[in-house]
Amino acid sequence: MIMQKIITVLSIYIVLLFAISCKSVSPPRPLMPIPTDEQLKWHESERNAFIHFGLNTFNDMEWGYGDTPSTTFNPIKLDAEQWAKTIKAAGLKGVVLTCKHHDGFCLWPSRYTEYSVKNSPWRNGNGDLVKEVSDACKKYGLTFGVYLSPWDRNSSEYGTPEYIEYFRRQLTELLTNYGEISEVWFDGANGGTGWYGGANEKRSVDRRTYYDWPTTIRDVIRKNQPHALVFSDAGPDIRWCGNEKGIAGTTNWSMITAKDYYPGCAKQKDLNRGEEDGSDWVPAEINTSVRPGWFYHKSEDHKVKGLTQLIDYYYESVGRNGTGLLNFPVNRNGLIDPIDSINVVKWQQHLDQDFANNLIKDAKVTSSNIRGGASRYDVTHVIDDNKDSYWATDDSVIKSHIEICFREEISFNRFLVQEYIALGQRVKSFKLEYEKNGKWIPIANETTIGYKRILRFKTVRATKVRFSITDSRACPTISNIALYKAPKILVEPMISRNKLGEVKVEAFDLEIDVLYSIDGSTFKKYTNPFLFDQKGCVEAYVFDRDSGKKSDTSSIYFDICKTKWKMLEPIQSAKSNLMFDGNQQTRFIRKVNKFPYKMTFDLGEQCAIKGFRYLPDQSRRAKGIIFDYSFDISKDGESWKRVLHGEFSNIKNSPIWQTKIFKEQTARYVRLVAESNVAEDTFVGVSEFDIITK
């Protein structure tokens, strides 16, 4: 009995001693710089929406010159709530609206210019699109931000000191009339040609000093919206990622030294990576558009980012310590186009599946070091779903590891890790391994983590996984670790054939079986490109053995093989051969002295021809899209017969394959003649050319 009491007293003493020791263990000191509360909320939003809409939409332009009449703005079906509902369904948390682009046209009835919605037929001149979007965001629980172009190609004052006052007055209107503003967005396009009130000239400014950014930010933004974050190449709160492709650096620090940057500075590589020793917390925003352009163009309806491109965007932005900003080019009706809406909602649905089940929840986690042995820094905090708790090591320990042990073997292909960035970004490098037959097998060796890092890799089966921090700026603080088994992506594969007749079938998911057929009934497993130098149809689909599910079937018909084809004019070269290399992403572009411009092909043998196909340049800023054309044939290359003459109707708005059919005729030589192009300049562009035979 006495012994039991002694044991009890000793036990209580040990517990109290341990509790006292835990309290005495101080947290890691913040490693400066660190984020503000507003920046932390922005990190946690992860994905937001950009919206570009204005006069450019109605005039098929990207950068308006500033001279297009306000009367051309008339979105008769505009519904800002449709925008908000679509954005919400896509899993995005906020909106940044392009309130004024470089052309100077304002989407609100600004007191300081006549170049705005108040002089358009939309809403009979009584509309305020900024208010409608702001109200829609409030209704659907989205944050609201504004983009105001510093450059104004309409203003006669641009380039003078007076313009700065004009710019600040417009900015004040946006910051005082539409409720809480989460983000104020400035880009680096400053100065160049413009209408400038009729001057029609080029005006240059010193991008570093002209706008007096410190004063603008202090006296206008901080005064009127103290919690708003400011985006630009230099921040001061959020920086550009250095490209518009939506790709953050695999090394991505949330810091730069802001004084070394300014809007429009040419430091894309530095912006993409950030700076390990940067003096300011200015994390990267990863912007791109769901279409090739920022504004809507009918000609890009077939180029909307699909599921696989959007998935890549997520992992290369949010998955690399960035926050995504996906642009929606609203169409001329004033709606997010149905094609765009469908794709982004599918994107969110797939991401939900990727992260549906965190496999680590039932695992045992241990670490090589715990800060002072205190429970408040125990490694179990990395799996407790509490963003404010974290595992930390002693100050002197910058290399450490966490082991994750499972009762039975699991399969996984995603790894997620987060630092407790409220104390700064610390980890410089880490690696991920799994145990097999008593040996540690590497999965990945990477650099920075930051707010969130997600790795994708081929499926691994294991009972033990090790996450090791191999270098750090200070003792690491890790708030979250997770493992997932993302499902296979069952998207139909891409089929292509090159000039030599070699067929390639490409699937997005490399861990999935690809099956193909050349007879429409017998399907074989695809492993490598195969020779198919005849006419016929190739079909293919992807198949997931685990689930038994398959994708839709891709199907493409190939006409005669182009192995024997030669260019006669222009003279055969590597560039001219791009017209029939089977790759739609390559292009032949030629600046010509005048039209008509002849492109003559030797097919290598007599063929029964009944038509041809033309695919124009598929790049974002396509050149030389042929409008008026002629098509000639010849048996000997000397005597020519014209079989077709006409136009590729609506090719500007729909630059896809153009097919023309005529009565069957025999020929060995064919000639496509460009009589004019849609831009009325002197370029001819061809992505692919093909003939149709009997």
Alpha carbon 134 to its chain's center: 24
How would you classify the pairing of strands 323-329 and 47-52? parallel
**Is the pLDDT assigned to residue 269 strictly greater than 90?**
yes
What pLDDT is stored for residue 362 in this prediction? 84
Q: At residue 622, does pLDDT exceed 60?
A: yes
Question: Does the pLDDT at position 600 exceed 80?
Answer: yes
What pLDDT is stored for residue 6 in this prediction? Answer: 39
Percent of the chain with pLDDT over 90: 93
Q: CA 184, 187, 189 angle in degrees (round to 5)?
A: 150
Q: What is the pLDDT of residue 23?
A: 53
Q: Any residues with CB less than 8 A from the CB of 615 and at least 6 apart, and which?
A: 584, 656, 657, 658, 686, 687, 688, 689
pLDDT at 688 over 90: yes
Least confident of 9-13, 121-125, 264-268, 296-300: 9-13
For 535-580, write each residue's pLDDT tens digit: 999 999 999 998 899 999 999 999 999 999 999 999 999 999 999 9
* Average pLDDT of the residues of the chain: 94
What's the pTM value of the predicted model, to 2 decimals?
Answer: 0.91
Residue 20 has pLDDT above 60, yes or no: no
Structure confidence by residue, pLDDT tens digits, 332-342: 999 999 999 99
Q: What is the pLDDT of residue 11?
A: 41
* CA–CA separation, 189 and 200 (whole Å): 18
Average pLDDT over residues 12-36: 68
Residue 246 has pLDDT above 50, yes or no: yes
pLDDT in tens, 462-508: 999 999 999 999 999 999 999 999 999 999 999 999 999 999 999 99
pLDDT at 455 > cutoff 80: yes
- Asked whether residue 630 carries a pLDDT value surpassing 70, the answer given is yes
Q: Are 219 and 171 in contact (CB under 8 A)?
A: no
In angstroms, the CA 472 to CA 448 distance is 9
pLDDT, one tens digit per residue, over 414-450 is 999 999 999 999 999 999 999 999 999 999 999 999 9
Q: Cα–Cα distances in Å, from 370 out to 473, 476, 547, 692? A: 17, 10, 41, 71
With a pLDDT cut of 70, the percent of the chain lying above it is 97
Sheet holding 494-497, edge to edge: 494-497, 502-506, 530-531
